[in-house]
């Protein structure tokens, strides 16, 4: 039997690189504190656009295999050892952007039966027993079909796991407060002339931006977690170019690297000082306050 730490965090993402952009600080912080961090990625991003010209020949399965290696490198940077592909490598293919013929591929995630895919995630939940689950909002942050489907699968898995006697105490959605995004883009406009990027994105290009009052929780990075996040983002060479504190995707539009990460608690009890935001995803969960070592559950090894 293997004993898992008292704090156990599960993140569900659509493609390799989503985890580093959205949750790199959070993952690095909790991994460094001794929590068990599990990442489930639903596809290998086989239909992603490739930035470096020297890697432009990578498409389809070859790109997916390459991105799997990038994901492993990113997880080393974040200190995360438990990362998995939903149902195993190649079970669900990248669906492409919304409205493209790729969405009709019977093997893509968008065409997957949500309950059957959720059962695969329930297997992970039953094994790891996470108290906290992080995923996207119902729009997937910005409307990508794989992000929407990852949300549906994660939320359904939480329901099914609870019915099976393995409840997840708290479920969070990735968010960015509107004022934080607006301030960051104002700085970006000032800094743009000195950057290796020609154009800036806008607030509307950032997934999950909502009014500030929707934010329940913020996870602040320190020097180590911040550096781990940017290192993890750099590991996704085909998808991201970083020039701290900014980065671009294949659209070549600069946007900020957020080293404080924000969440909206959608299931579970909120904990904090009065009306203040939580500073810990595990806040209020019995048996986890201030615990960084092992004292958790035993699982078959």
Could you tell me which residues are annotated as the binding site for Zn(2+)?
A: 15, 18, 147
Residue with tokens 């909120």: 270
- CB-neighbour burial class of residue 301 (10 A; exposed 0-12, middle 13-18, buried 19+): exposed
d(C-alpha 266, C-alpha 270), whole Å = 9
Which two three-digit tokens encode residue 226? 């911040």
d(C-alpha 243, C-alpha 194), whole Å = 10
Is 217 in contact with 277 (CB distance < 8 Å)? yes
| DSSP character string of 57-70 | T--HHHHHHHHHHH
Is 174 in contact with 134 (CB distance < 8 Å)? yes
d(C-alpha 168, C-alpha 180), whole Å = 29
| Beta-strand relationship, 36-41 and 82-85 | parallel
Is 86 in contact with 42 (CB distance < 8 Å)? yes
């Amino acid at each position: 039997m293997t004993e898992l730490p008292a704090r156990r965090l599960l993140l569900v993402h659509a493609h390799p690189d989503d985890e580093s952009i959205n949750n790199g600080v959070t993952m690095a912080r909790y991994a460094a504190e001794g929590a068990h961090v599990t990442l489930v990625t639903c596809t290998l991003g086989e239909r992603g656009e490739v930035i470096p010209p020297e890697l432009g020949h990578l498409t389809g399965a070859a790109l997916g295999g390459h991105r799997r290696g990038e994901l492993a490198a990113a997880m080393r940077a974040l200190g995360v050892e438990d990362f998995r592909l939903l149902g195993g490598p190649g079970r669900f293919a990248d669906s492409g952007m919304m409205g493209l013929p790729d969405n009709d591929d019977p093997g893509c995630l968008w065409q997957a039966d949500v309950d059957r895919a959720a059962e695969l995630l329930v297997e992970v939940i039953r094994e790891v027993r996470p108290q906290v689950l992080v995923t996207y909002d119902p729009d997937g942050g910005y409307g990508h079909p794989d992000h929407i489907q990852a949300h549906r699968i994660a939320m359904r898995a939480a329901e099914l796991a609870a019915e099976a006697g393995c409840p997840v105490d708290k479920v969070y959605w990735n968010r960015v407060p509107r004022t934080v995004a607006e301030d960051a883009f104002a700085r970006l406009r000032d800094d743009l002339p000195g950057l290796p990027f020609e154009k800036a994105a806008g607030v509307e290009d950032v997934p999950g931006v909502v009014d500030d009052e929707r934010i329940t929780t913020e996870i602040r990075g320190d020097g180590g977690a911040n550096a781990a996040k940017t290192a993890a983002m750099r590991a996704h060479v085909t998808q991201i170019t970083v020039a701290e504190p900014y980065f671009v995707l294949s659209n070549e539009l600069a946007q900020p690297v957020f080293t404080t990460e924000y969440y909206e608690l959608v299931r579970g009890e909120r904990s904090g000082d009065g009306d203040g935001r939580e500073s810990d995803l595990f806040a209020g969960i019995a048996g986890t306050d201030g615990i960084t070592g092992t004292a958790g559950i035993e699982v078959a090894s």
